[in-house]
């Protein structure tokens, strides 16, 4: 049972305009709801806009923190249709989940016009458990852990223009299980595995005036080709297969502008475009024909996804209340890329509204600490008869996320 896991797991976890990607990987970014690309001020600049490292103070900077993510239950009220004559009441509720996600950022002292930094983050993660029968048929458990190491450099082209970029090194591991015995379909799968993949990120920053920042960042698409083994069973027949599946982690573009007044109040607007149209289908390949042949319908036939490019709009405010205390807050609108036709129990995703806030305290010239909170509220949505290719008819509710972050920053 090796590397085949990331299948829908990866797709459902690492997207975020919609889904469970987590762009907020520091205190400031959490408190600002991700509206933290143009006006970055600490060691986390290495992750959110490496070009801005050129404009930081000349000290070394570090930030370490921990985020607790609470994922409320998804609910479903409706029926599951296997055919026009096979319709069953399929009300269900997923388990609540709690995840701990650390992060670490570092920016070195400049070397002339060059500067380097690095980040260690958890940019995505999902754990979804259904114990209700019809949901277990496809999503008894979906769990994914993702860790990214991101070394970066910046170059100050002029006093008001800089560029930056670096490598994305991603390690991920996960589990996917499904069990249809309780609904009269004795098919079971159990997959586990991990993978290491690579990509890049680019950034640029321009300061037309002292109080205005313009920025653009880009994270590359990463195709995850998972190769390993899958344990599949039907009734009393169980086999292990060599298998592979390729899933795209989509490219993402951020465009941002910030404006500061009186050196104390800053507004930033951030537009994010996530290119999920590259995810057209979920298609597994095996080294031989599955036995019995009916297993092919469940595990071998390509599953259409046809996801769409999605947008996220963020507005964040930073207020230096005093020389020692900074307050931050944000609002955001987050679109889902998943059309209703291909929504599944693995990720019953919908558009979301986000509210965030936080506080940072400057303890002394070197040390700062703070807390931030983010609430992600998913919109309920309904699927009419024949609207969903998986035969789901009814209403999804709940879901979303509550994130609490604590961090310590040190400058020396």
Q: What is the pLDDT of residue 3?
A: 39
Q: What is the pLDDT of residue 243?
A: 80
Distance CA 252, CA 14 (A): 11
- Provide the b/e sequence for 131-154 (b: ≥16 CB within 10 Å): ebbbbbbbbbbbbbbbbbebebbb
Question: How open is the CA angle 377-382-383, to the nearest 5 degrees?
Answer: 135
> Which fold, 6-411?
Porin (2.40.160)
Q: What is the pLDDT of residue 12?
A: 37
- Three-class SS string for the chain? CCCCCHHHHHHHHCCCCCCCECCCCCHHHHHCCCCCCCCCCCCCHHHHCHHHHHHCCCCCEEEEEEEEEEECCEEEEEEEECCCCCEEECCEEECCEEEEEEEEEEECCCECCEEEEEEEECCEEEEEEECCHHHHHHHCEEEEEEEEEEEEEEEEEECCEEEEEEEEEEEEEEEEEEECHHHCCCEEEEEEEEEEEEEEEEEEEEEEECCEEEEEEEECCEEEEEEEEEEEEECCEEEEEEEEEEEEECCEEEEEEEEEECCCEEEEEEEEEECHHHCCEECEEECCCCCCCCHHHHHCCCEECCCCCEEEEEEEEEEECCCCEEEEEEEEEECCCCCHHHCECCECCCCEEEEEEEEEEECCCCEEEEEEEEEEEECCEEECCCCCCCCEEEEEEECCEEEEEEEEEEEC
Per-residue pLDDT of the chain (412 residues; tens, 9 = 90+): 343 333 333 333 333 334 445 778 999 999 999 999 999 999 999 999 999 999 999 999 999 999 998 989 999 999 999 998 899 999 999 999 888 889 999 999 999 999 999 999 987 666 788 999 999 988 888 777 788 999 999 999 999 999 999 999 988 777 788 899 999 888 998 887 788 999 999 999 999 999 999 999 999 998 877 777 888 888 888 888 888 877 787 899 999 999 999 999 999 999 999 998 988 887 888 888 888 888 888 888 888 888 899 999 999 999 999 999 999 999 999 999 989 999 888 888 899 999 999 999 999 999 999 999 999 999 999 999 999 999 999 999 998 889 999 999 999 9
Q: What is the pLDDT of residue 189?
A: 87
Q: Could you tell me how far CA 60 lies from the centroid of its own chain?
A: 29
Q: Tokens in use for 349? A: 């995703």
Q: Tokens in use for 385? A: 């008869």
**Residue 145 CB contacts under 8 Å (≥ 6 apart), including other chains:** 122, 125, 172, 173, 174
Distance CA 179, CA 95 (A): 16
Q: What is the pLDDT of residue 387?
A: 94
Q: What is the pLDDT of residue 100?
A: 87
pTM over 0.75: yes
């Amino acid at each position: 049972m090796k590397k085949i896991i990331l299948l829908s797991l990866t797709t459902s976890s690492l997207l975020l305009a919609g889904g469970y990607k987590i762009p907020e990987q520091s205190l400031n970014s959490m408190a600002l709801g991700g509206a933290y690309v143009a006006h970055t001020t600490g060691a986390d600049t290495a992750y959110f806009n490496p070009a801005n490292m050129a404009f930081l103070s000349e000290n070394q900077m570090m930030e370490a923190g921990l985020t607790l993510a609470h994922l409320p239950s998804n609910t479903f009220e409706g029926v599951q249709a296997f055919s026009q004559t096979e319709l069953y009441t399929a009300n269900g509720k997923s388990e609540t989940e709690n995840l701990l996600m650390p992060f670490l950022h570092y920016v070195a002292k400049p070397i002339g016009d060059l500067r380097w930094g690095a980040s260690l983050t958890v940019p995505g993660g999902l754990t979804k458990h259904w114990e209700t029968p019809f949901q277990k048929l496809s999503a008894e458990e979906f769990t994914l852990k993702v860790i990214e190491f991101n070394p970066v450099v910046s170059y100050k082209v002029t006093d008001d223009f800089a560029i930056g970029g670096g490598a994305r090194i991603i390690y991920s591991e996960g589990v996917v299980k499904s069990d249809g015995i309780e609904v009269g379909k004795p098919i079971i799968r159990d997959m586990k595995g991990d993978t290491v993949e690579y990509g890049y990120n680019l950034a640029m920053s321009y300061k037309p005036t002292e109080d205005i920042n313009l920025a653009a960042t880009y994270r590359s698409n990463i195709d995850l080709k998972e190769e390993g083994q899958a344990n599949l069973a039907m009734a009393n027949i169980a086999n292990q297969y060599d298998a592979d599946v390729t899933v795209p982690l989509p490219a993402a573009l951020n465009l941002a502008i910030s404006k500061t007044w009186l050196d104390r109040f800053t507004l930033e607007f951030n537009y994010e475009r996530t290119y999920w149209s590259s995810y057209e289908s979920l298609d597994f390949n095996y080294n031989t024909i599955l036995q019995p042949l009916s297993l092919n319908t469940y595990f071998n036939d390509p599953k259409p996804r046809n996801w769409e490019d999605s947008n996220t709009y963020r507005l964040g405010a930073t207020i230096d209340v005093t020389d020692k205390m900074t307050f931050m807050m944000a609002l955001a609108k987050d679109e889902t890329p998943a059309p209703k036709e291909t929504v599944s129990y693995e990720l019953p995703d919908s558009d979301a509204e986000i509210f965030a806030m936080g506080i940072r305290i400057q303890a002394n010239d070197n040390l700062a600490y703070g807390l931030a909170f983010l609430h992600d509220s998913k919109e309920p949505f309904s699927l009419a008869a024949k609207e969903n290719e998986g035969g789901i008819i009814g209403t999804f509710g709940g879901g979303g996320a509550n994130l609490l972050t604590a961090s310590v920053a040190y400058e020396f």
